[in-house]
Structure 1
Amino acid sequence: MLDGLTDDHAAAVARRFPDGETWLAGLEARLAEVVARWRLTPLRPLPGGIGGYLLDVRTADGRDAVLKLSPTGGAQGAANRLEAYALRRWAGDGAARMLGVDLAAGALLLERCRPGATLDTLGDEEMLEHGCGLARRLQRPADDEDLLILPRAAEEVAIRAQRFGGLMDALGHPFSPAREQEIGALHRALATGDGAPVACHGDLNPGNVLAHDGGHVAVDPLPVLADAAYDAVSLVWAKRSWLLAQPDRAEILRRRIAIASDVLDADAEHVRAWALVRLTGVLDERSEWGGYDTAPFVALAELL
């Protein structure tokens, strides 16, 4: 097995992607091919999520960089294309600069962020302020290219709204009856997609915001057309284990929503609505993957 690829990481990849085991079997050969073709010097594997494999490298011209390899095809292939699209549009302004891309190989080369500390190393309120400030910097009114390429969050919500009853049955009705009824109503409300959409990062969790050059930059976008409040959600529910262990956890959530509302100039109830609706989407997605503890998300839904 490749250095840095733990048994748990490999098992998660195999669960998440239909061809995950095949991709893992060919990963070492694919890595060697991309490294040779791009004339990279491998340095060390880096910790990452379950979306692929990260390697600290040096380019032929001496630049520090990160090579990311992800599965290709299907939904992940589409996600790879959207990630490259967003990074190209930002061109290093608020996001890590993309140095190279090969979608067929699932390969992405990014500038190395220094020092690279994740956003959750900050205090809680600072985490929200800096994260939402970066979200606002990255967001832009959707132009013709965005409207053609990016998915619309409201359309995904509308699809889930139509199957909401069946989804709750399949999940075993994880929420209290009152909260389930409210979340169903919020799905129907957000499915209308009122207002002019903006191009959002889409997955601005603290692990995707890195310290770099005296500020912070984003990585791993899942760009989507939505309203500004959409990007606050991954910060509102961040550090779940820590949050749920706090005696004042409900107040912390309220404060997080208030900060996000203020920084993004979004209605606080709208931020909360997106949190509950997107949380339901996580439960839906991870029930298909299997092997994930969704109890913290359910607990957060009851607190929100």
Structure 2
Amino acid sequence: MIGAGSAMFLVGTLTAVSATVSGYPVFGGQALRYAVAAVLLYAVVLVRGGPRPGRPSGRELVLLTALAGTGLAAFNVCIVAATEDTSPATIGTVVATVPVVLALVGPLLERRRPAPQVVLAACAVAAGAALANGLGGGTVRGLLLALGALAGEVCFSLLAVPLLPRLGPLRVSAYSAALAAPMLLVVGLLVDGSGVLRVPTWAELAAFGYLAVFVTTVAFCLWYGALGGLGPDRAGLFAGLIPISALITTVVLGLGRPGPADLAGAVLVGAGVVLGLGRGREKPSGAAVAVAGAGRNL
């Protein structure tokens, strides 16, 4: 639980910290972030040593490429494109429904029925996150792009489930980051041309360092490690912490102050998480047990 909560709290700081690098080419910056994170993760793999699972099989490579393409690259592309047609509040509200999707689909992947209490809790978390975000407005194209971002967020978790038993959280994080970096660089070249990358300022360098180390390297490993112990459905409840973390980070950086809706949303998210985690999880599948073991060993 601590791992899942910490991971989503770190991810929630992304919005406010990204505001400090708004002048840097978006896709080039994301490519830089994932490239640095991949190097750090690979270095940790070398330092930790231990038994090596070998290179990914053909099936695993396909899943890793799909994970990087949807959960990382496409997610970022949809988020950036959606902001041109709709408000950040609308995007946040749509993406905030990810706990509900994971509560319904996650158990099916483990060949068990969705738990009504967890689904109800996920709905409460999603409602609280939407309340904290505000409902916003926008165009149909913006809404479709927001739904694309939601699909990418779901794929980020579900595509990792069959990979974690053998590769473990650390290697899944490293491979996905390494694959996403060139994908985003290509998108950046198409959008920004030769200006896709430039030498960052010291402030931008510090922000990118934070994004690479904490929001990517640490958060990815914590999240993938938590999936095995909690399952996608219950772990997904913690995604509701993202807008709450974003709100806290915004206040800390002096970029805004919370309103009554923000505070009410935070309370509703907390209640939903407590409700969902208050139910003992059904006996995990063999795959989930293997994931949990891999999470302990990274």
Q: Same fold (TM over 0.5)?
A: no
Specify which structure has the bigger relative contact order, considering alpha-carbon pairs within 8 angstroms and separated by 6 or more residues: 2
Q: Give the structure-2-normalised TM-score.
A: 0.28
Greater strand share, structure number: 1
Q: Which has the larger radius of gyration?
A: 1
Q: Give the structure-1-normalised TM-score.
A: 0.28
Greater helix share, structure number: 2
